[in-house]
A and B are shown apart, each in its own frame.
Chain A
């Protein structure tokens, strides 16, 4: 039976993605490792601080996994939340699993503990790059209700691959932040169609920001993660120069496009206005060979 990735909680996603019964959690809720800063602000805390970390198996292969729970302060990164993620990445250096899976769902830095959150994100960035440098792939899964924004949007793009569903969102500044700061003319956060075609999975896939686009189904995410686990990380100068050329070409080709529809049209897609309504298989067939 298929199960929506979007609707599932962080714990449900972990249980469904990994081989049944294989997950072992580190610092589980019983450890009560909570943020000390939320208490001071009389903000409710959570026994896992909004992130589940541990190890398990996928088709028998050892993996480490972290899942952010958007239902707790939007999956935002505070001191403890960030340290759990950093510690998990460092554990990969010792355990050398087949890969690390990051089930991202986050608004970025948790403002209640702003400075500690910002530093934590930076530590996670350094740790991801170190793990990749040691030859262990880090995969991102992005298809939850809260999307992936702020520092976690940067972290995601440091990884080996980003697997998204159409429902996922991947960006730096969220629509509300842009609207609040720059005005509704710059970004109308209530225009859901605009939000999805700017930050959603289909556009990120077409642009080359997401590696794969899958249906909103935990099994589809699992199958794609398994397919990408064998990927050898490449932090060579040649690989980074190739990415540099690719990103430079994107600025040249699309830098003047005001809207995703203009980008899709210039990719040679005949009726770009129809892309948002296509189901994932039809979308993938329609855009085959036309990604940036």
Chain B
């Protein structure tokens, strides 16, 4: 397999970007204006996040006196602590992480197998197969609740995290299949030809050629799937009824109904609900740069 591993085309995939060319670095007034506009848009988008941050550290009296926009007059951690303890936050964190992690990996795997058959295998009727698979994405989730409730009850998966995991593997992989199938459809033929001349069978081609070359796209999908699953609400709310199984968003929302919660604890709960995905995103956001179609070799 050695010749396959040192894939020459991978280098071709990353054309040297011309960083320094004559005059490229000169900045006109217009460039600064564009930057200004871009920064302003960024600030507008970030305002609500600033508000979450500021209000999480205020005491209720402080909030009542100064309103939502001012900085806290002194740092107050009781809201954060109250939320942390009331919902047993580490438990919810682990639930969300466990569910989203397995879904992300499972859905990418299924997407890849589907897309391999559709994009590279060019299975007959692939357009229609993609449409049918996309059904998982098209359906309003409310449609699934009643039937799946009965089905999971029957097999003893109701109030079990695997119920949610299975549902989201199917839903997320529908998007993955759609995107990946069109990327694989443009996979460079020469590489596949070379591999098959070397005697690689389909399974080997998938794992030794297609998988490594499209890894950037696959990692983008993993990030999307993880965050999307983390943020899901309706299905986890319905299928994870017991407190110990709930995810972070469900825990936050359930507490919302609790009249005893003051605004600053609410804000603290929002902050704690947001931080995990934020950290995840910051760690992996570079992966996004490498591109959804990085496999597209000329």
B is bound to A: no
Chain B residues close to A by CB (< 8 Å): none
Chain A residues close to B by CB (< 8 Å): none
